[in-house]
Amino acid sequence: MSTPLHNKIEQMYAEIQQQKVAISDFERHIAEAQTTVTAKNRAVSVTVDGRGELVDMKFPTNSYRTMAPAEFAQLLVETVGTARDQARNSAAALLQNLLPGRLPIADMLRGPVNFDSMMADVMKDLNEPLPGMADTANAEERKL
C-alpha cells in the first residue's frame, strides 16, 4: 500500500539521485575547466583550472621585456586575478544550481561570509514542514 509518506520518501530518494548526478557533473566540469585571460596590452596570457589555480602562462609578444619590473609584476597579478575571478564565477554559477538558493556561493568563494546568519536561514528552511507533510504528521498524531 502506498501512503503519502511513502510517496514523499520515494520522491526525496529520486531527488537525491538527481543531486548525485548533478554533483558528479559539477566535479567533472571543474576538473576539465580552464579559463584563459590575456592582458589588455597582450604582454601576458594566463590559464587557470576550474578551481582558479594557475596552470599556464605565456608571453605572446616581447613587450614584457620593455616593461618596468613593478609594472610587469602588477600586470601579472591583475591578469591572474582576473582569470581566477572568472573561473570562480563560473564554478559559483554551476554550484548555485546544486545548493539552496539563498546561499551566497560567489561570496563564499571570494572570502569570509557570515556563516551564522547563513546557517540560520538554512535551518529555518529545514525546520519548515514539507508541503503535505504537516497533514500526514497531524493525522499520525491523532491515531496515537
- DSSP code string of 15-78: HHHHHHHHHHHHHHHHHH-EEEEE-TTSS-EEEEETTS-EEEEE-SSSGGGGS-HHHHHHHHHH
Sign, CA torsion 57/62/68/71: negative
Longest dimension (CA), the chain: 84
- Domain coordinates in residue numbering, the chain: 31-130
- Are the C-beta atoms of 39 and 79 separated by less than 8 Å? yes
The residues of the chain scoring below 70 in pLDDT are: 1, 100-113, 115, 118, 121-122, 125, 129-144
* Those residues with Cβ within 8 angstroms of residue 96's Cβ, 6 or more apart along the chain or in another chain: 103, 105
The confidence score (pLDDT) of residue 81 equals 96
Supply the pLDDT for residue 48: 98
Class of CATH domain 31-130: alpha beta
How far apart, in Å, are the Cα atoms of 1 and each of 4, 5, 7, 102, 139?
10, 11, 10, 38, 17
* Closest by Cα among 30, 47, 29 to 38: 47
Question: Measured between alpha carbons, how far is 80 from 77 in angstroms, rounded to an integer?
Answer: 5
pTM: 0.65
